Structure formats: structure tokens, C-alpha cells
């Protein structure tokens, strides 16, 4: 058979593509439930990490999450609760001022509110979870950050180095008068109006753009939750 004729080439390519498409669709359908489950566990792990519950075995995550997180609500920027359940199923890209997931938690008998934050790093998306105490100042209880594709060894430190995340604990998210978000990631020595000692965390050397990204992410995202957090402060 003449394998270099045009007809043969076109038919060969078409048949091959159909076979491969079928094969990939089949594999994807078979494995989808399993990988969705993994993603869900990973998300729960990240939420727990923001509550300073780290180093937990994968098989214990579901149980711990159920014990700590009381409800996953959906709210809007005005602080109205739109749904009591279903916040967990909101994807990162679907978070908007009308559709804000928030997690009401209880750690060792004390109420915490976990707020997801999303933003842009240097190369791709960054996100995280900030756990806040229910006090007037909005004290941060813990934080977790991760990223899609920040530079390994530099920007990637926001996810890999626990020291970066742990420095957020004890800081406050509001400025002194309590009317604006002031929690910031800044280079040591850099002064910004309205950002007090209690609001600032150290940026990462060599990863200025990622650090700025985290800073903007905190301001943008926390601003949307400010009303809700204020309403729930005791």
C-alpha cells in the first residue's frame, strides 16, 4: 500500500486522533472521582494548616476537618449570610463580592473564622487561608499560603517555609482606628502610612514581586470580608 498518498495520510491522522480522544476521555472519566477526592482532601489540609493544625496524616484529615470546621457559609461584602452551607464547594475562580466563602471554626473551644484569600503572584495565581480571632482588633490566629508557579527557592517560599506563614500569627488585620485593612507584607524598614508594628510581616528577600502579590492579595481579599468580620467580633 502507498503510505505516502494524501488520502492515506489524512485518513491515518483522523483515525489516530479519534482513537486517542476516546482513550483519553475514557481514562479521565474513570479516574475523575478519585482525583476530585484528592483535591478535596488537599483543600481541607490547607484550611487546617491556616488554623495551625499541620503535620497531619492524610487519612485523618477528614475527621479533624469535621471536628474543627463547624460550617462553611457563603456571604457577600455587606456581611449578609447568603447560604449556611456550600462555601467549601466554591472554586477559587468563582469567588467574587457576591459569592464569598467563609469557614466558621472552633479550635480548643475558641471561635475562629477562616477566610480564603486569592491574588496574583509573579508568574501565576497565589492563594491562601487566613484564620482570624473573633476579637475587636481582628487578631490573626494563623495563615497558610500556596501558589501555582512561583519561582522555586524564592517566591515558592510562601508555601514551603512555615516561618513565613507563622509570622502572621498574633498580627492584627485592622489599622489602629480599626476602619481599614492594614495587615501587610513589607520589606523591613519600609514605612507605609497607617501600617503599625502589629500589622507588618516581613517580605521574602529576592522575591519582591511575589511578596507584593501576597500584600495586595491580603488587602483586596480581606477588605471584602471586613463587614462580616466586624459583625462577628465580640
Give the residue, chosen from 14, 18, 20, 179, that forms a contact with another protein under the rule CB under 8 A: 20
- Single residue of 14, 18, 24, 70 touching another protein by CB under 8 A: 24
Size of the site for another protein (CB under 8 A): 24
Which member of 16, 18, 70, 192 binds another protein (CB under 8 A)?
16
Q: How far is the CB of 163 from another protein (least distance, A)?
A: 13
25 in contact with another protein (CB under 8 A): no
Can you spell out the DSSP letters for the chain?
--TTSHHHHHHHHHHHHHHHHHHHHHHHHHHHHHHHHHHHHHHHHHHHHHTT--S--GGGHHHHHHHHEEEEEEE-TT--EEESS-GGG--GGG-BTTBEEEEEEEETTEEEEEEEEEEE-SSSEEEEEEEEESSTT-BEEEEEEEESSPPTTTTTHHHH-HHHHHTTTT-BSB-TTSSSB--EEE-TT---TT--GGGEEE--TT-HHHHHHHHHHHHHHHHHHHHHHHHH--
Nearest residue (CB) to another protein, 159 versus 218: 159
Per rule CB under 8 A, is residue 28 in the interface with another protein? yes
Note the residues at the interface with another protein (CB under 8 A). Answer: 3-4, 8-9, 12-13, 16-17, 20, 23-24, 27-28, 31, 34-35, 38-39, 41-42, 58, 149, 152-153
Amino acid at each position: 500500500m502507498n503510505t505516502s498518498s494524501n488520502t492515506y495520510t489524512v485518513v491515518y491522522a483522523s483515525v489516530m486522533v479519534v482513537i486517542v480522544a476516546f482513550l483519553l476521555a475514557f481514562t479521565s472519566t474513570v479516574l475523575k472521582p478519585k482525583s476530585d477526592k484528592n483535591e478535596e482532601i488537599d483543600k481541607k489540609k490547607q484550611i487546617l494548616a491556616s488554623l495551625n493544625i499541620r503535620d497531619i496524616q492524610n487519612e485523618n484529615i477528614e475527621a479533624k476537618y469535621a471536628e474543627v470546621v463547624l460550617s462553611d457559609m457563603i456571604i457577600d461584602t455587606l456581611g449578609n449570610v447568603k447560604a449556611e452551607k456550600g462555601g467549601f464547594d466554591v472554586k477559587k475562580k468563582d469567588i467574587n463580592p457576591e459569592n464569598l466563602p467563609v469557614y466558621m471554626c472552633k479550635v480548643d473551644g475558641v471561635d475562629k473564622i477562616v477566610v480564603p484569600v486569592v491574588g496574583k503572584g509573579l508568574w501565576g495565581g497565589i492563594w491562601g487561608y487566613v484564620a482570624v480571632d473573633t476579637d475587636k482588633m481582628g487578631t490573626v490566629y494563623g495563615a497558610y499560603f500556596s501558589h501555582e508557579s512561583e519561582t522555586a527557592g524564592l517566591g515558592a517560599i510562601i508555601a514551603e517555609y512555615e516561618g513565613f506563614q507563622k509570622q502572621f500569627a498574633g498580627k492584627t488585620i485592622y489599622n489602629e482606628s480599626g476602619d481599614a485593612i492594614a495587615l501587610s507584607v513589607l520589606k523591613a524598614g519600609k514605612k507605609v502610612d497607617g501600617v503599625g508594628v502589629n500589622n507588618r510581616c516581613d517580605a521574602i528577600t529576592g522575591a519582591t514581586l511575589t511578596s507584593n502579590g501576597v500584600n495586595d492579595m491580603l488587602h483586596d481579599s480581606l477588605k471584602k470580608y471586613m463587614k462580616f468580620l466586624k459583625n462577628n467580633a465580640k
